[in-house]
Structures are given as structure tokens and as C-alpha cells.
């Protein structure tokens, strides 16, 4: 429990990127043996702050002290020498290397010798995080990869462990196991700085909290006593609609508009997932959510739905009663379907192209006013881009900026808006609010619900279980390329879904 | 010397420059830098090596001059792509053009001069052994150096911490930076090593293979070395197999043409390329491992975010 000595103290940390203050005079105190939450929306400055603490960024102003003595952390190696370990949000592992090699890179040379494999095995087992030192990272699932990162930190015997959104890729059961490990570490006197935007988790796990908004500290609530609404209000600076915000009753289920029948696809890359006998029906007026841990076939399923990976059999996918399993994306769009992939940059949008050009990319086949006879009508495209920007409240630079100039959340609103603007009859969307702040996420979910209410069939693939539970009428779970039957949201529970996510349905 | 010995000796001398250049490029690429300027660095190494030997009177100093020439050119490349974050493909192609032009200019004074030759070693008794004597104990020193180098590079990459750091930089430069590995420094050293090897390979041509300076004498060997790296899936010992295979096929088809084998000469000329590609494709046919071994950051610019 807190009450240990002050371990790390940051005073007046300032860091700006091109005039934008990512951190504006931030103070942070972490005690030995406490689990300290760092809360905030995307872009609030959490990642910048921990990168400064870990030495991979240098602050413009401010000071850091470690156990009461001033410490200038010039680079990550110095941070590790002090006893600061970090588990990154986007894994920092080397896929082409083995588990042991990955760990050796982070250790001082004298500890990375021949005894390392045995050491990895014993430490990982003593914390209940079993690992095979000789396995190649590329062949391991995400949950295991995170274990590697954690064990890598533990081998350095850290005094402060920084974790950046560790549970975003874990099943609830895996997350629970992680919490046990963290509690045990805290009990041994290690401090944990825990970054998350999952408020429930923070309330369960953390002893103290610091909330950031727009680069500033806006509060230090006690997570044990503060309510979810209190924390959320601090984070976004306004009241947010909580979970379960689906307005009105779902429309009476309409006809089947999207059907997948016995779809099987071999993985075409070494690390891909093969889809096995997937069947699913989505009716007009409903949202079907597909839950699952990353890397269980979501990308492959999405590609099969959008036509990026055509099936071998025309009947495998049906849109509004038309068999289209072998059609490519443009032909499926002409049947009234729309697709929003997970990756905004490089998949849903081309960063170096203007918004108007990006608008054309998915719509030239369906909107004759944008393209006729192979020629583009760019003024129409600019008008369309403007309409999307206005209607979906996309905050973008003036004029017709390149997609890469938009922040992640705004670009997501744009790519979602681009498809919704067409009023599609069938929508497949993957990770609709990934990396988007609460405000924008709420808007996007509301738009999806509105689309379904108007009679469209919506299939939403997401790794965010809260999101799935909030927006879906029925929920299916994908695990190792197999899809469980979709059940009404009211008839299932978080635990049941978690078990299926963990592969219990296999 | 028997005919068999002569054939094996020519195979070895044909393979050695390819092997040396390929090993250098392999290390460079393992660090994530694609240097398409191998041909340019080789030809500059060839001319500086020849010039160095002529001016000092020692082929060994010539070898050092060859390495220095290759390194000088590669340091220019390193500055462009690592400090200025220039495009690696364009810079590498420019380096080849620069090297070809520069070598012609430097070499003008040396055209037609008889060169100094790196002598084959001669160990009394051992070299005189029948059949294997000359082949095993009668090569020039760089042949032994190149084989040793292949083993050393392999040990370095897979058995040392510095080698692990180098592979890590090539595999995921952002993470390597996060872990405190000096990405730019590591890459610069790897580029310099590649330059030294290319220069040495060029020097081998003008000091051992055909001791003279002829403009454009590398004749595309730099490109073959580049291809060997890829087909060897970035494994040093496989690169050695590939280099010897290519050298072997090259020499054998010469002999086949001389013998008047009734096959179109174009086919015979293409044979070394076909044989090498086929053999290395079979060696790295397991695409899972092939993909794992390829440096994922190859050709990507790294700019540290601070």
C-alpha cells in the first residue's frame, strides 16, 4: 500500500512538439510500493510523460528526482540503471529474434550470458508468466508477447515499473492474472505507474491516480473512492454518456442483409490466421459485434467480408441476397456495402493524399458524380470531403489537407463519415474507435447505432469488450479463426465472452 | 599443375570477390540499411587498391588502400542516408554511378600499367601435396581471409552481443532505440564495414584476379553480390555457398563453351545465374524462416524522436 518512501518525483515537466504543449508543467510523485494510475484521453500527454521518465525523450524544462536526488535520465539505459522498467503499449519486441535474445538486449552484458535461458524460465514461472526462451517472437500470440516484455522488465529487478495500456490486448482472464502479478510486485515494494483509459481497471487495481488533460494535471483523485463518472469527467472535462447509451429500442429485426456461410480460408502469410467454417447472419436494423483478442482472425475475417481476400465460393458471402464471395471490394460496394478497416493510415486512408482524394478512393465505383468514364471530378470530390468534414465534426486544417495531417481521432471520424455518408445497407467495421478519445468514440458509436436504426446491417469487429457490449445487439466471439454463434447481448455476460475469447469454445 | 587444379583455382578466385562483397553488404543489410552502391564501392576499391600498390610498391598496402577507398565512399553514403535521412535506394544507385565515374578519373594514369600481384602462398611440402596441395595450401592470402571472414561474420551476428544489437537495429529500429541501442551509430559502423568489404573485393580484382587496372573491371559483380545476400536470406554461410556455386558455374560454363558442348552459348552464359538462384531458393525454401531472417527495417529511414 502507499505510504512507502517517495521514489520518483517529477516537477514542472514541459515538453512541446512544434508549438503544441504535450506536457505543460506536470508534477508527478510516485511512492515505493504503490500502483499509481496515469489517466487521460488520447493526446493528453501520458505517453510523452512516461517517455521522458524513461529517458527516451528529453523534457524542455522541469526536473526529475529519484529517491530524493536529482536525476537526469539521458537515455533508456540510464533509466534502467536507476531501476526504471517499462512495458510499452505498442510492443517493443523484435519479431525476428527469439525470446531470450529479446530479453538479452535489455539486460547489462554480464547478465545476458549463458545462464540467461534458465533465468528467464525461473523468473517467468515464479511470477506465473511461463515463457519458452528459444521461441521466436514472430510465432507467439500477443498475450505471450506481453509476458515477454514484463519478464524482461522483471529480470532487471525494477524499482519502478511503467506500464502503458497493458490490458488493451488481453482477455479479461489474462488481465486478471496481470493484476495479480502487479499486486504482488507492489507488495514487494516495487512501484507501478499504470497508464490506462479503462476506468474500471484503475479503480480495481490502483492506489492513487493522476489525471492529465491537454498536457496538464487536472486532478489527483483517489481511485478507490472516486466513481467511474468522476474519473471520466476529470479526463474529458465534461460529462460523458456512460455505457449503454444506445438510444431507443433496436428496430425490429429486418431481413438478413449480410450472410457468411461456411467460410474457410487458409492463411496466406506465415503469421496469419486461417478462418475455419465461419457462419454468421446480420439482419437489417441490428449491430452484431465480433469480440476477440487481437490476432485471432479479425483481420482475415474483415478482408473476407470486404473482398480484399475473395473466397473460393461465391455463396460464402451474401450481401442483400446476392452471392458475392468471389467479388472484389468495389463490386461489393456496388451492392450497397461499405467497409471501414482497422488501420486508418495506409489501409482506410492514404496519408499523403488529400481528403478529397481519399474520399474518391472508396467511392469512385459507387458515386457516378465522382468519376465517369475513368475521369475524376475533383471539384465534386472536394465538395464531398467538405460535407463529410462538416457533418461528422472532423477537426482538420483549412482547405483540403492531406489525410496524414489529421490527428488519429479526426481521421477516424473522416473515414467513418466517408462510408456512413453513403447510407450503406451493409457496413463492416473493424475497431471503429481504436485510439480515439472518449468524445469522438461516443460520436462514432452513436452514428453506427443510427445507421442500424435506419435499417442497415452493421458488423462491428472490436477488441474493446466494453465497446462491443455497449453497441451490439448480438455478440459473437472470434478465437483462432473460429467464430462462436452470435447471442443476444442481454443473454451473455462479460465472463462468458471472456472465456470464449480465451478459446474455451474450441 | 593439373587441369583439375587449374579449374578449382579459377573457381576459387572467381568466388572470392563475390563472397567478400556479399558479406559486407549482408552486415549492412542486417543493420537495416540497403546500400545499392556495392558496385560503385567495389570499382573504387579496385582503383585505389591498384594505385596504392603502384605508389607504395606493396600489394599489401594496396589491399589496405582498397578497403580505405571503399570505406570513404560508404561514409559518404552513410552521411547521406543516416545523417540526412536521404532515400537509400536513390543514394545507393547514385553511389554506383559516382564510383564508376570517380574510378575512371583516378585510374586514368594507371591504364596499361603492369600491376603488382598478391602472391599465392607457398608452404613447402604442404603446397606440394598431390591434388589438394595447391587447392588447400596454395591460394592467395585473401582467399583464406574471405573464408575466415564468413565464419567470423556468422559468429559475430549470432553469438555476440554486438551482433545481436545489430540484428535488433535491423529488425525494429524504434524498439532498439527505446532500449538504448545507438541506432545511427550501429548502422554507420555497419555501412563502413560494408564499404571496407566492397573495397576489398574490388581490390581483389585488381591485385589478385587480374593484376591491372581496366575501367569498369568489376563488370557487374557488385550487383551479383547484392543478389547473393537476398538469396542467401541474410545468412553468411549460405552466402559463401552461393558465391562458390556461382563461381563454379561461371568457370564450368567457360570450359563447357571451350569444349564445344552443343548448347546455345547464351544458355551457358546464363547458367551460373540460373544455378545460383535455383540453389539458393532451395536452400531458403522454407518461407517462414526466410521471412523471419529478413531485416524488417531494411531500407527504412530512422529519425530519433527527440
Provide, as residue numbers in chain A, all residues whose Cβ is less than 8 Å from the Cβ of B288: 270
Provide, as residue numbers in chain A, all residues whose Cβ is less than 8 Å from the Cβ of B293: 96
By C-alpha distance, which of A92, A174, A38, A164 is closest to A465? A174
Grid cell in block for residue B272: 551460373
* pLDDT given at position A503: 67
* pLDDT given at position B75: 97
Residue A394 has pLDDT above 90, yes or no: no
Please check whether residue B160 lies inside any domain of the structure: yes
Residue A43 — very low, low, confident or very high, per pLDDT cuts 50/70/90?
A: low
Q: What is the mean pLDDT of each run of 10 residues along chain B (306 residues)?
A: 80 94 97 96 97 95 97 97 94 96 94 87 79 79 95 94 94 86 95 98 94 92 92 90 91 85 84 81 64 78 72
DSSP 3-state of A337 = strand
Record: contact A112-B161, CB cut-off 8 A: yes
Do A110 and A90 lie in one domain? The reply is yes
Partner B contacted by A109 (CB < 8 A): yes
Residue A124 has pLDDT above 90, yes or no: no
Please check whether residue A341 lies inside any domain of the structure: no
Q: Which of residues 179-208 of B touch A (CB under 8 A)?
A: 179-181
Residue from the list A76, A101, A109 with its beta carbon closest to the beta carbon of B178: A76
Residue A89 has pLDDT above 80, yes or no: no
Q: Which domain holds residue A211?
A: 6-236
Residue A304 has pLDDT above 90, yes or no: yes
To test the contact with chain A by mutation, choose from B179, B185, B291 the residue with the greatest count of A C-beta atoms within 10 A, namely: B179
* pLDDT given at position B21: 97
The pTM (predicted TM-score) of the whole model is: 0.71
Please check whether residue B66 lies inside any domain of the structure: yes
Partner B contacted by A74 (CB < 8 A): no
Provide, as residue numbers in chain A, all residues whose Cβ is less than 8 Å from the Cβ of B306: 56-58
Q: Mark residue A216 as left, alpha or beta (left: phi above 0; alpha: psi -120 to 50; beta: remaining).
A: beta
Do A13 and A45 lie in one domain? The reply is yes
Record: contact B176-A105, CB cut-off 8 A: yes
Residue from the list B165, B179, B296 with its beta carbon closest to the beta carbon of A92: B179
Partner A contacted by B284 (CB < 8 A): no
Do A15 and A65 lie in one domain? The reply is yes
Partner B contacted by A138 (CB < 8 A): yes
Partner B contacted by A101 (CB < 8 A): yes
Nearest CA in chain A to B171: A94
Half-sphere exposure (CA, 13 Å, Cβ side) for A350?
Answer: 10
Mind listing the pLDDT tens digit for each residue in B83-102? 999 999 999 999 999 999 99
* pLDDT given at position A392: 86
Partner B contacted by A136 (CB < 8 A): yes
To test the contact with chain B by mutation, choose from A96, A145, A148 the residue with the greatest count of B C-beta atoms within 10 A, namely: A96
Please check whether residue A241 lies inside any domain of the structure: no
Grid cell in block for residue A467: 465497446
* pLDDT given at position A53: 93
Mind listing the pLDDT tens digit for each residue in A427-448? 999 999 877 777 788 889 999 9
Please check whether residue B298 lies inside any domain of the structure: no
* pLDDT given at position A487: 92
Do A311 and A391 lie in one domain? The reply is no
* pLDDT given at position A367: 87
Q: How many CB pairs under 8 A join A and B?
A: 68
Q: What is the mean pLDDT of residues A221-248?
A: 67
Record: contact B179-A106, CB cut-off 8 A: yes
Q: Is the distance from CB of A147 to CB of A132 less than 8 angstroms?
A: no
Record: contact A57-B181, CB cut-off 8 A: no
Higher pLDDT, B52 or A213: B52
Grid cell in block for residue A242: 456512460
Task: State residue A354 phi and psi, 5-degree precision.
Answer: -70, 160
Record: contact A105-B178, CB cut-off 8 A: no
DSSP 3-state of A244 = coil
Grid cell in block for residue A312: 473460393
* pLDDT given at position B71: 97
* pLDDT given at position A353: 92
From A404, A422, A440, the end of a domain falls on A422
Residue A243 has pLDDT above 50, yes or no: no
Do A504 and A492 lie in one domain? The reply is yes
* pLDDT given at position B74: 97
Q: What is the mean pLDDT of residues A118-140?
A: 82
> How many whole angstroms separate alpha carbon B43 and alpha carbon B215?
8
Do A302 and A170 lie in one domain? The reply is no
> How many whole angstroms separate alpha carbon B299 and alpha carbon A265?
32
By C-alpha distance, which of A20, A424, A333, A436 is closest to A414? A436
Partner B contacted by A77 (CB < 8 A): yes
* pLDDT given at position B133: 77
Minimal C-alpha gap between A407 and chain B (Å): 18
Residue A247 has pLDDT above 50, yes or no: no
By C-alpha distance, which of A325, A317, A292 is closest to A504? A292
Do A301 and A412 lie in one domain? The reply is no
- Using DSSP bridges, classify how beta strands A191-196 and A160-164 pair: parallel, antiparallel or unpaired: parallel
- CATH classification of the domain holding B55: 1.10.3470
Do A162 and A107 lie in one domain? The reply is yes
> How many whole angstroms separate alpha carbon B25 and alpha carbon B33?
9
Nearest CA in chain B to A113: B161
**To the nearest whole number, what is the mean pLDDT of chain A?**
85
From A422, A437, A455, the end of a domain falls on A422
Residue A17 has pLDDT above 80, yes or no: no
- CATH classification of the domain holding A303: 3.40.50.300
* pLDDT given at position A244: 42
Residue A246 — very low, low, confident or very high, per pLDDT cuts 50/70/90?
A: very low
Higher pLDDT, B20 or A56: B20
Please check whether residue A50 lies inside any domain of the structure: yes
Do A382 and A315 lie in one domain? The reply is no
Provide, as residue numbers in chain A, all residues whose Cβ is less than 8 Å from the Cβ of B180: 55, 75-78, 80
Record: contact B178-A75, CB cut-off 8 A: no
Mind listing the pLDDT tens digit for each residue in A328-362? 999 999 999 999 998 888 889 998 899 999 999 99
Higher pLDDT, A464 or A162: A162
Residue A270 has pLDDT above 70, yes or no: no
Provide, as residue numbers in chain A, all residues whose Cβ is less than 8 Å from the Cβ of B287: 270
Minimal C-alpha gap between B288 and chain A (Å): 6
Do A228 and A274 lie in one domain? The reply is no
Provide, as residue numbers in chain B, all residues whose Cβ is less than 8 Å from the Cβ of A58: 306
DSSP 3-state of A497 = helix
The residue count for chain B: 306
Grid cell in block for residue B189: 559502423
Task: State residue A25 phi and psi, 5-degree precision.
Answer: 50, 60
Do A464 and A366 lie in one domain? The reply is no
Record: contact A136-B165, CB cut-off 8 A: no
Number of domains in chain B: 1
Provide, as residue numbers in chain A, all residues whose Cβ is less than 8 Å from the Cβ of B294: 96
Higher pLDDT, A144 or B40: B40
Please check whether residue A449 lies inside any domain of the structure: yes
Partner A contacted by B290 (CB < 8 A): no
Do A436 and A398 lie in one domain? The reply is no
Please check whether residue B184 lies inside any domain of the structure: yes
> How many whole angstroms separate alpha carbon B257 and alpha carbon A255?
74
Q: Which domain holds residue B151?
A: 3-293
Record: contact B177-A56, CB cut-off 8 A: yes
Number of domains in chain A: 3
Which residues fall within 8 angstroms of residue A106, CB to CB, at 6 or more apart?
A80, A152, A153, A155, A156, B179
Alpha helices, DSSP H only, in chain B? Answer: 3-30, 38-56, 59-78, 88-107, 132-137, 141-159, 161-171, 173-178, 183-204, 221-231, 236-259, 265-283, 287-293
Partner A contacted by B159 (CB < 8 A): no
CA dihedral over A379, A383, A389, A392, signed as positive or negative: negative
Amino acid at each position: 500500500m502507499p505510504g512507502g518512501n517517495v521514489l520518483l518525483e517529477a516537477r514542472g515537466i514541459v515538453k512541446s512538439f512544434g508549438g503544441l504543449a504535450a506536457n505543460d508543467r506536470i508534477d508527478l510523485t510516485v511512492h515505493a510500493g504503490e500502483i499509481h494510475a496515469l489517466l487521460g484521453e488520447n493526446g493528453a500527454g501520458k505517453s510523452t510523460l512516461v517517455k521522458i521518465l524513461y529517458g527516451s525523450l528529453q523534457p524542455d524544462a522541469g526536473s526529475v528526482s529519484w529517491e530524493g536526488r536529482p536525476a537526469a535520465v539521458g537515455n533508456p539505459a540510464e533509466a534502467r540503471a536507476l531501476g526504471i522498467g517499462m512495458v510499452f503499449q505498442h510492443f517493443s519486441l523484435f519479431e525476428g529474434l527469439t525470446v531470450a535474445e529479446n530479453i538479452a538486449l535489455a539486460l547489462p552484458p554480464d547478465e545476458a550470458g549463458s545462464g540467461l535461458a534458465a533465468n528467464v524460465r525461473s523468473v517467468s514461472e515464479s511470477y506465473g508468466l511461463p515463457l519458452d526462451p528459444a521461441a521466436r517472437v514472430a510465432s507467439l500470440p500477443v498475450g505471450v508477447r506481453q509476458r515477454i516484455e514484463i519478464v524482461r522488465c522483471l529480470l532487471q529487478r525494477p524499482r519502478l515499473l511503467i506500464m502503458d495500456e497493458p490490458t488493451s490486448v488481453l482477455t479479461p482472464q489474462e488481465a486478471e492474472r496481470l493484476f495479480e502479478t502487479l499486486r504482488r510486485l507492489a507488495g514487494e515494494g516495487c512501484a507501478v505507474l499504470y497508464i490506462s483509459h479503462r476506468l474500471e481497471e484503475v479503480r480495481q487495481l490502483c492506489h492513487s491516480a493522476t489525471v492529465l488533460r491537454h498536457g496538464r494535471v487536472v486532478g489527483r483523485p483517489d481511485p478507490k473512492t472516486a466513481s467511474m463518472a468522476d474519473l471520466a469527467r476529470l479526463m474529458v472535462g465534461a460529462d460523458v454518456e456512460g455505457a449503454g447509451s444506445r438510444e431507443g429500442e433496436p428496430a425490429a429485426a429486418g431481413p438478413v442483409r449480410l450472410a457468411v456461410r461456411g467460410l474457410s480460408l487458409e492463411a496466406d502469410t506465415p503469421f496469419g490466421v486461417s478462418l475455419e467454417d465461419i457462419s454468421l447472419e446480420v439482419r437489417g436494423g441490428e449491430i452484431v459485434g465480433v469480440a476477440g483478442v487481437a490476432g485471432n482472425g479479425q483481420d482475415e475475417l474483415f478482408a473476407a467480408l470486404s473482398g480484399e481476400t475473395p473466397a473460393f465460393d461465391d455463396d460464402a458471402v451474401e450481401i442483400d441476397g446476392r452471392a458475392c464471395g468471389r467479388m472484389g471490394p468495389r463490386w461489393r460496394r456496388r451492392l450497397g456495402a461499405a467497409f471501414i478497416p482497422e488501420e486508418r493510415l495506409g489501409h482506410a486512408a492514404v496519408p499523403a493524399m488529400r481528403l478529397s482524394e481519399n474520399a474518391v478512393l472508396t467511392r469512385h465505383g459507387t458515386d457516378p458524380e465522382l468519376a465517369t468514364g475513368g475521369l475524376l471530378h475533383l471539384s465534386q470530390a472536394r465538395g464531398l470531403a467538405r460535407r463529410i468534414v462538416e457533418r461528422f465534426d472532423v477537426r482538420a486544417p483549412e482547405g483540403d489537407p492531406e489525410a496524414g495531417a489529421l490527428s488519429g481521432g479526426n481521421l477516424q471520424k473522416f473515414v467513418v463519415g466517408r462510408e456512413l455518408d453513403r447510407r450503406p445497407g451493409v457496413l463492416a467495421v473493424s475497431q471503429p474507435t481504436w485510439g480515439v478519445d472518449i468524445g469522438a468514440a461516443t460520436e462514432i458509436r452513436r452514428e453506427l447505432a443510427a445507421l442500424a436504426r435506419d435499417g442497415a446491417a452493421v458488423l462491428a469487429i472490436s477488441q474493446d469488450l466494453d465497446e462491443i457490449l455497449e453497441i451490439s445487439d448480438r455478440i459473437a466471439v472470434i478465437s483462432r479463426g473460429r467464430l462462436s454463434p452470435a447471442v443476444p447481448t442481454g443473454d451473455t455476460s462479460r465472463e462468458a465472452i471472456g472465456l470464449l475469447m480465451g478459446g474455451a469454445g474450441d | 599443375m593439373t587441369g583439375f587444379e587449374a579449374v578449382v583455382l579459377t573457381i576459387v578466385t572467381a568466388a572470392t570477390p563475390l563472397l567478400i562483397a556479399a558479406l559486407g553488404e549482408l552486415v549492412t543489410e542486417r543493420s537495416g540499411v540497403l546500400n545499392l552502391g556495392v558496385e560503385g564501392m567495389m570499382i573504387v576499391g579496385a582503383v585505389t587498391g591498384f594505385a596504392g600498390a603502384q605508389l607504395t610498391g606493396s600489394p599489401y598496402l594496396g589491399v589496405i588502400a582498397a578497403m580505405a577507398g571503399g570505406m570513404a565512399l560508404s561514409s559518404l553514403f552513410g552521411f547521406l542516408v543516416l545523417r540526412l535521412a536521404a532515400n537509400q535506394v536513390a543514394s545507393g544507385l547514385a553511389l554506383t554511378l559516382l564510383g564508376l565515374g570517380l574510378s575512371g578519373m583516378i585510374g586514368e594514369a594507371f591504364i596499361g600499367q603492369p600491376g603488382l600481384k598478391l602472391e599465392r602462398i607457398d608452404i613447402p611440402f604442404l603446397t606440394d601435396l598431390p591434388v589438394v596441395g595447391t587447392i588447400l595450401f596454395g591460394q592467395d592470402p585473401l582467399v583464406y581471409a574471405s573464408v575466415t571472414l564468413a565464419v567470423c561474420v556468422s559468429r559475430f551476428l549470432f553469438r555476440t552481443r554486438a551482433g545481436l544489437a545489430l540484428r535488433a537495429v535491423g529488425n525494429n529500429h524504434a524498439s532498439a532505440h527505446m532500449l538504448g541501442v545507438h541506432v545511427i551509430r550501429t548502422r554507420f559502423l555497419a555501412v563502413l564495414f560494408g564499404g571496407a568489404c566492397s573495397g576489398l573485393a574490388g581490390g581483389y580484382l585488381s591485385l589478385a584476379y587480374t593484376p591491372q587496372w581496366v575501367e569498369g573491371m568489376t563488370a557487374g559483380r557488385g550487383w551479383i553480390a547484392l543478389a547473393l545476400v537476398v538469396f542467401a536470406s541474410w545468412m553468411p554461410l549460405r552466402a559463401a555457398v552461393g558465391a562458390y556455386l556461382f563461381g563454379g558455374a561461371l568457370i564450368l560454363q567457360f570450359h563447357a563453351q571451350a569444349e564445344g558442348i552443343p548448347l546455345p552459348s547464351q544458355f551457358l552464359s546464363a547458367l551460373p545465374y540460373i544455378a545460383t538462384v535455383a540453389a539458393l531458393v532451395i536452400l531458403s525454401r522454407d518461407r517462414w524462416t526466410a521471412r523471419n531472417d529478413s531485416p524488417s527495417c531494411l531500407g527504412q529511414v530512422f529519425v530519433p524522436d527527440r
